[in-house]
């Protein structure tokens, strides 16, 4: 398969999430379960013989969601509720919701109240490294597993769950390798292409995606490194999604050489440790190893800033773009600490506010253009 063919297959999946999931369901005969952001244990869904589908919002016209949410709710949750209420998610046999922020808590409850979808709620503990936190999360996962077994009509055996965890860990390693390799080939891996590789993973069968990404990385490695002209940046935030936003980067000759986005490499940063005889315990322990981000509490307030500076230096980035999701409280709190740390370390930073429902991004274009003029 040529590199262009791989990119087009991944771009199709990234641009047509519902159709991609439906095609796979038809081919495999499997049911599908929606997984809301940010860290839902998709391995449980896979081990139950079903297809996990990432739910990261979109740009529907908000009609039904307005009955439950005020306008100052983050756009990702508004879109998820709208899709739940307008029937877009009717092909799903259930939705797993996590609750690391108030918006997600409300979304799970509103979906439960306003739709006939089966909602499986999970709470991730704030104190994630202590034994009591791990025990609590394990009990949450055990309840979720029981609900998934009921939907699937089959039990989740330890052997199947270990197998699913191993597959997901292999996929995480492949995504990390792609991320590192892509940073050396920005002439080929444009911001849009890079994003397609990350986003398509949310909708495709994990094994199929793993095979495509592995082949893509191998082909890139055979080519001499080729950097695009222009500036290099690291993106951070919840997501940097949308054709328009990606085109703004490309128009301003900006390459993405790494990211710290919840929707992208943060999903793949930490493997599930396979060091316990109980696979659900292993999944619960993964949460305690997660990299700090705005919804993963850490006492070290500079952890995220430090990681960004290290990543930027390792990849030779000229600066960092903080894509703050509008009305996202966790990100707004984190921004203050990240900004102070980056300023103290001389790392250029641009803050922009992104929103899935905004169709006109001219102001962002102007700000990014001005940012590049300040960069070396
Ligand atoms: S973390 Fe932010 S963007 Fe994500 S659901 Fe919560 S408020 Fe929305």
Q: Determine the residue of 328, 332, 354 to mutate for testing ligand 1's pocket, defined as the one with the most ligand atoms within 8 A of the Cβ atom.
A: 328
Dist. CA 43–CA 327, nearest whole Å: 30
Does the beta carbon of 182 sit less than 6 angstroms from any atom of ligand 1? no
Distance 326 CA to ligand 1 centre (A): 9
CB of residue 237 inside a 6 A radius of ligand 1: no
Looking up tokens 């700090």 gives 292
Residue ranges of the chain with pLDDT lower than 50? none
Cβ(81) – ligand 1 distance below 6 Å:
no
Distance CA 305, CA 294 (A): 11
Check residue 15 and give its pLDDT: 95
Cα(69) to ligand 1 centroid in Å equals: 14
Instruction: For residue 291, give the DSSP letter.
Output: P
Q: Are 14 and 217 a contacting pair, CB within 8 Å? A: no
pLDDT (0 to 100) of residue 231: 96
Cβ neighbours of residue 276 under 8 Å, at least 6 residues apart? 282, 285
With beta carbons less than 8 A apart as the criterion, state whether 8 and 111 touch: no
**Residue 134 has what pLDDT?**
94
CB 325 near ligand 1, within 6 Å: yes
Closest C-alpha residue for ligand 1 atom 7: 328
Per-residue pLDDT reduced to its tens digit, 78-115? 999 999 999 999 999 999 998 888 888 888 899 999 99
**Ligand 1 pocket residue status of 220, Cβ below 6 Å:** no
Question: Measuring CA to CA, which residue among 203, 170, 214 is closest to residue 18?
Answer: 203
The confidence score (pLDDT) of residue 106 equals 87
| Cα 299 to middle of ligand 1, angstroms | 20
CB-ligand 1 contact for 305 (6 Å cutoff):
no
**Average pLDDT value for the chain:** 94
For the chain, the farthest-separated pair of C-alpha atoms sits apart, in whole angstroms, at 59
The per-residue pLDDT for range 15-47, each reduced to its tens digit, is 999 999 999 999 999 999 999 988 899 999 999
Task: Supply the pLDDT for residue 297.
Answer: 81
Task: Find out whether the beta carbon of 137 lies less than 6 Å from any atom of ligand 1.
Answer: no
CA 153 / ligand 1 centre spacing (Å): 32
- Assess whether the C-beta atom of 104 lies below 6 angstroms from ligand 1: yes
């Amino acid at each position: 398969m040529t590199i262009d063919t791989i990119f087009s297959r991944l771009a199709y999946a990234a641009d047509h999430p519902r159709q991609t999931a439906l095609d796979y369901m038809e081919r495999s005969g499997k049911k599908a379960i929606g997984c809301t952001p940010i860290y839902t244990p998709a391995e449980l869904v896979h081990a139950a013989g079903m297809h996990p589908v990432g739910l990261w919002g979109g740009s529907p016209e908000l009609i039904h969601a307005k009955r439950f949410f005020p306008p100052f709710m983050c756009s990702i949750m508004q879109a998820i509720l709208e899709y739940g209420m307008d029937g877009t998610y009717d092909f799903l046999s259930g939705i797993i919701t996590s609750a690391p922020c108030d918006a997600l808590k409300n979304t799970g409850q509103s979906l439960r109240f306003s739709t006939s979808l089966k909602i499986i709620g999970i709470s991730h503990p704030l104190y994630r490294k202590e034994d009591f936190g791990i025990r609590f999360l394990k009990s949450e996962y055990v309840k979720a597993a029981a609900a998934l077994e009921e939907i699937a009509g089959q039990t989740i055996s330890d052997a199947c769950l270990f197998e699913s965890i191993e597959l997901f860990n292999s996929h995480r390693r492949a995504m990390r390798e792609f991320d590192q390799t892509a940073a050396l080939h920005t002439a080929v891996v444009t911001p849009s292409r890079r994003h397609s590789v990350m986003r398509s993973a949310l909708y495709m069968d994990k094994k199929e995606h793993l095979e495509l990404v592995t082949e893509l990385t191998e082909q890139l490695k055979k080519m001499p490194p080729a950097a695009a002209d222009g500036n290099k940046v690291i993106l951070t935030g919840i997501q940097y999604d949308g054709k328009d936003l990606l085109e703004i980067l490309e128009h301003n000759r900006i390459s993405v050489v790494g990211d710290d986005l919840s929707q992208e490499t943060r999903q793949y940063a930490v493997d599930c440790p396979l060091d316990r005889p109980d696979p659900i315990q292993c999944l619960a322990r993964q949460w305690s190893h997660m990299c700090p981000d705005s919804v993963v509490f850490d006492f070290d307030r500079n952890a995220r800033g430090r990681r960004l500076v290290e990543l930027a230096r390792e990849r030779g980035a000229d600066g960092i773009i903080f894509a703050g999701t509008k009305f996202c409280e966790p990100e707004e709190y984190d921004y203050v600490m990240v900004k102070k740390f980056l300023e103290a370390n001389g790392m250029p930073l641009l803050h922009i506010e992104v929103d899935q429902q905004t169709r006109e991004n001219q102001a962002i274009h102007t700000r990014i253009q001005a940012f590049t003029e300040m960069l070396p």
